[in-house]
Structure 1
């Protein structure tokens, strides 16, 4: 196991370098950060040249990237155009989005797996048909539609929850945004679980467990569910980074100042250091989540062993 982890960590290095270079290239090569800094006004050539020299923008792109990676290794992500350190923006934004993501992950794990198991065990019955129809409806509705509808009904009309999130972003305030963020992923988790449970329920090892007289709870929990969760865990692992980076719409609806909000502001204002810095951290989160998923395979399925 130790050798496998080391090998996976070494494999993550070229993936990280390639991903961050593409991000850096797209952000810095497709727009002029200095021109965006001045807005509609044309900058003085001398002032623009000085700013480009300070931001290392007067160098070739590969040198800019090398300089940026050197800063990252020293823990420096640069300075936003408003003069604030990018690390300070991260310290304010990432804890909020992390709490929101944890709520969303918990919702899609608990509700999605429970509905998927119930649907898979009753394949072809009314429960299965109802769950499949509901998940199809959820997948078909865009996030901004479901977000505004739930915000209006539960927050503005019925007053069950606050329609917006306070700057502190308490955990109880993030339940509704977390549900909105998790809806689409919840539908996919439900369908994956349902399909996997339905297939594995007809496997030989399940028939053997039934023939041995094992109680249904043990058959489902220890044998059927553990083997059926492998594709679900794979999806959830890849979904962690997608939820953190794709929370822009949800955070805008509920006025949450997290990663999505900072990315939106950075893209809108062409604030390159902010965009590149935040996306670099998201790449690291995605890689670590996938490593954790690979390690969980051996826990869920004892047949999987890592040399």
Structure 2
């Protein structure tokens, strides 16, 4: 009997000896750090690919930026000044060491890359941000409208229109918008004029570029919203809400949309990269003062630091949006950790 009691006491867990779970804030920080580390590795690989790809292009920065009549000795000296006589891996490593401090290097024409992007990149962010906002609001509205009466005329019309718009590239939509709203009706300007600070001179000059960017992503995200709401409508608690006699709009706003939010957020976050990528084409068509013209000139000059600088700042914005989307999805799924 005594031996059994002693063994029972030994087996009894000591209060407070169990490992305590980490605080929610700590787990959240660790999760964010892990996601950020993975994105940083992907961005580093992409930047290395950019340097290598520019190296494989015919010609080099010294030849592309040279003036007519320069001798071979002048070109050799320019290559030495630009560091083109060193291995590409060494130049990439040197460029990466300054990236954490915001030093994006020097362009092939001797200008600071950070200074070259100081004005165009905020303009591109403004254009992409407005297009993302239009995409979010319109796709949620259209997706909800179609989901309220599944199989109805509105549902079929929205689904067909979204599919058709999704197949159109940005430059086709941009040309059509210019034709209709600038040439035929003269309602909106076809090109963008700038103020002294390099920003668009009027908000009217933003309308067509924003629409050209947003319309293709609108088709994509409308389909995502519609599908997410249709999947959520199959959940048991939706049937319970219907049987309880709740109004249709309350079921949509208080039950369907919260459950579909993770999927909707993922679609919107994915569109961020597509919007910034499509901005290069749209900015060229509308003469918009963004990074499109900077990137085109950098490719023509075989300017590795400038191209990598554009990719770095764009990748940082996309990484931030994706990280925010991950947090929203975790919160909407009920995982506060």
Asked if Structure 1 and Structure 2 have the same fold, meaning a TM-score greater than 0.5 normalized by the shorter chain, the answer is yes
The alpha carbon displacement at 1:43 in A equals 5.1
Q: Deviations over 1:81-138 (max 9, x none)?
A: 3443221221111111111011101111111111111112222111111112211221
Matched, 1:110 2:137: yes
Instruction: Indicate conservation of the 8 Å contact 2:64/2:302, yes or no.
Output: yes
The alpha carbon displacement at 1:66 in A equals 0.7
RMSD, matched Cα: 2.0
What is the TM-score of this pair, normalised by structure 2?
0.84
Q: Distance in 2 between matches of 1:228 and 1:74?
A: 39
Paired residues in the alignment total: 304
Q: Distance in 1 between matches of 2:34 and 2:167?
A: 40
Partner of 1:67: 94
Partner of 1:203: 235
Instruction: Indicate conservation of the 8 Å contact 1:19/1:283, yes or no.
Output: no
Instruction: Indicate conservation of the 8 Å contact 2:170/2:278, yes or no.
Output: no
Matched, 1:255 2:287: yes
Q: Deviations over 1:259-285 (max 9, x none)?
A: 122112222333333212111111111
Partner of 2:12: none
Q: Distance in 2 between matches of 1:110 and 1:13?
A: 30
The alpha carbon displacement at 1:42 in A equals 7.8
* TM alignment of 1:192-231, pairs within 5 A: 192-231=224-263
The alpha carbon displacement at 1:63 in A equals 0.8
Matched, 1:35 2:67: no
Q: Distance in 1 between matches of 2:174 and 2:52?
A: 33
Matched, 1:95 2:122: yes
SS in 1 for 2:65: helix
Once the two structures are overlaid, the 10-residue window that deviates more, 5-14 or 55-64, is 5-14
The alpha carbon displacement at 1:73 in A equals 2.9
Give the structure with higher Rg (CA).
2
Q: Distance in 2 between matches of 1:223 and 1:8?
A: 29
Change (3 A) 1:268 1:53: closer
Once the two structures are overlaid, the 10-residue window that deviates more, 209-218 or 105-114, is 209-218
Any gaps of 5 or more consecutive residues in structure 1? none
Matched, 1:274 2:317: no
Partner of 1:293: 325
The alpha carbon displacement at 1:305 in A equals 4.4
What is the TM-score of this pair, normalised by structure 1?
0.91
Matched, 1:244 2:280: no
Q: Distance in 1 between matches of 2:321 and 2:276?
A: 12
Q: 2:186 aligns with which of 159, 165, 187?
A: 159
Partner of 2:146: 119
Q: Deviations over 1:7-30 (max 9, x none)?
A: 222333322221211122112333
The alpha carbon displacement at 1:62 in A equals 1.4
Partner of 2:84: 57
Q: Distance in 1 between matches of 2:328 and 2:104?
A: 32
Q: Distance in 2 between matches of 1:142 and 1:29?
A: 28
Once the two structures are overlaid, the 10-residue window that deviates more, 213-222 or 111-120, is 213-222
Q: Distance in 2 between matches of 1:72 and 1:45?
A: 33
Partner of 2:9: none
Q: 1:186 aligns with which of 185, 199, 218?
A: 218
Any gaps of 5 or more consecutive residues in structure 2? 1-27
